[in-house]
């Protein structure tokens, strides 16, 4: 099962279907079946995909590199861990936190978090077509789950909501500028809501997948539906929404999520599907903006991403496409209005008119005019006198005859 995991990721939802703080051991009460946790053993590396993915033909990271590459920006990946052994991720991953087994979060039994992190920050390698959108960014892994949905059943361990709270707070306290959450809760937990609010208040850009349960009635996904979180849906290479990508007011923007090339654990690459892999494109764009516009707060980064999105079916505000399709190049290069227009200045209050003061002012104005006229007359007289004093003696000397040429 472990060796075939990358091939099954296309059907993977990696949803944390938790209720009331239930642990994985209590998951048998849920409508999905709970199976034994898989053993995380080393597998043979997946094949390297040399072709340039369609997403890079669309977004052209080499054009983005002229403006930003994510250098100096930390992106927390709250997921199934990130395998730091992967050649394209080893320089990017910094020690994080493992809330499943303890450790630094650099173990990934599911390849899910590794794939997400690689879409953000995989380093370029000669002979490999795939690379991350922000290839100089740091990745801070926080491991909270290895759950996946295979054949309609939930497989693997996960953490209760309290641990997700701890994961978010850990990311904030350890310098994350952006947090990517490609796992989904389908129940609102006040403590998770509070942790997200703390992250937003701490000027962190929080990006979350909206989930893949459109065929099950679009249950509200958290934390994507929380205020201040960028909820990301998925499109395929043809630009249309993936059939399973959820629809609702929580969809703020869409990004590539179909036929996605990304890294697997250990080494190599695989093809992935779902909103989990759309979210990191937005997180990477946020990382580029946080480097290129370091003084711009997180909410302005989000508004800039929305304002520069490409048009999508349904127009801005669509429940399927949100503000439109992510466009990192436009987000970096255009100068949209990213804040509310300032209110026009209030008209100054009308001054009360004092008749006596008005009369005095008019009298002073008249006096000034008379004084100016008198001064002008005196000045003109002085000029005439000077002219006569010069001309009369010369005329007398010539006896008023014209001067010879």
Residue positions annotated with a catalytic role: 79, 112, 276
Residue 297 to residue 342: CA distance in whole angstroms: 18
Q: Which residue has the tokens 């991953």?
A: 93
Q: Locate tokens 């999508």: which residue?
A: 312
Cα separation, 19 vs 115, whole angstroms: 27
Asked whether the beta carbons of 73 and 291 are under 8 A apart, the reply is: yes
């Amino acid at each position: 099962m472990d060796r075939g995991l990358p091939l099954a990721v296309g059907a993977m939802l990696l949803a944390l279907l938790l209720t009331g703080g239930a642990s994985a051991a209590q998951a048998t009460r849920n409508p999905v079946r709970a199976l034994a946790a898989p053993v995380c053993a080393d597998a043979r590396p997946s094949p390297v995909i040399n072709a340039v993915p369609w997403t890079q033909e669309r977004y052209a990271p080499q054009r983005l590199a002229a403006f930003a590459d994510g250098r100096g920006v930390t992106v927390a990946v709250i997921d199934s861990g990130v395998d730091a052994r992967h050649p394209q991720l080893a320089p990017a991953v910094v020690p994080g936190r493992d809330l499943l087994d303890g450790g630094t979060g650099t173990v990934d039994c599911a390849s899910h978090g590794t794939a997400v992190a690689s879409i953000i920050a995989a380093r370029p390698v000669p002979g490999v077509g795939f690379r991350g959108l922000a290839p100089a960014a740091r990745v801070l892994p926080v491991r909270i789950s290895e759950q996946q949905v295979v054949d309609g059943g939930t497989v693997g361990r996960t953490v209760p909501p309290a641990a997700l709270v701890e994961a978010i707070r850990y990311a904030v306290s350890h310098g994350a500028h952006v947090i990517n959450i490609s796992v989904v809760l389908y129940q609102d937990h006040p403590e998770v809501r509070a942790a997200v609010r703390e992250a937003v208040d701490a000027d962190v850009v929080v990006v979350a997948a909206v989930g893949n349960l459109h065929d099950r009635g679009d249950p509200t996904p958290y934390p994507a539906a929380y205020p201040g979180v960028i909820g990301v849906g998925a499109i395929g290479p043809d630009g249309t929404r993936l059939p399973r990508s959820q629809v609702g007011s929580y969809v703020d923007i869409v990004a590539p999520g179909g036929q996605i090339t990304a890294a697997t654990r250990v080494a190599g690459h695989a093809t992935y599907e779902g909103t989990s892999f759309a979210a990191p494109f937005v997180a990477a764009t946020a990382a580029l903006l946080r480097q290129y516009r370091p003084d711009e707060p997180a909410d302005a980064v989000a508004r800039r991403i929305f304002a520069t999105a490409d048009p999508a079916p349904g127009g801005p505000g669509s429940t399927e496409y949100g503000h439109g399709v992510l466009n990192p190049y436009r987000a970096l290069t255009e100068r949209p209005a990213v804040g509310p227009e300032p209110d026009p200045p209030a008209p100054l209050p009308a001054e009360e008119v004092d008749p006596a003061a008005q009369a005095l002012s008019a009298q002073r104005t008249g006096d000034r005019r008379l004084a100016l006229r008198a001064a002008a007359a005196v000045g003109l007289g002085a000029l005439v006198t000077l002219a006569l004093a010069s001309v009369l003696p010369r005329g007398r000397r010539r006896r008023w005859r014209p001067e010879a040429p």
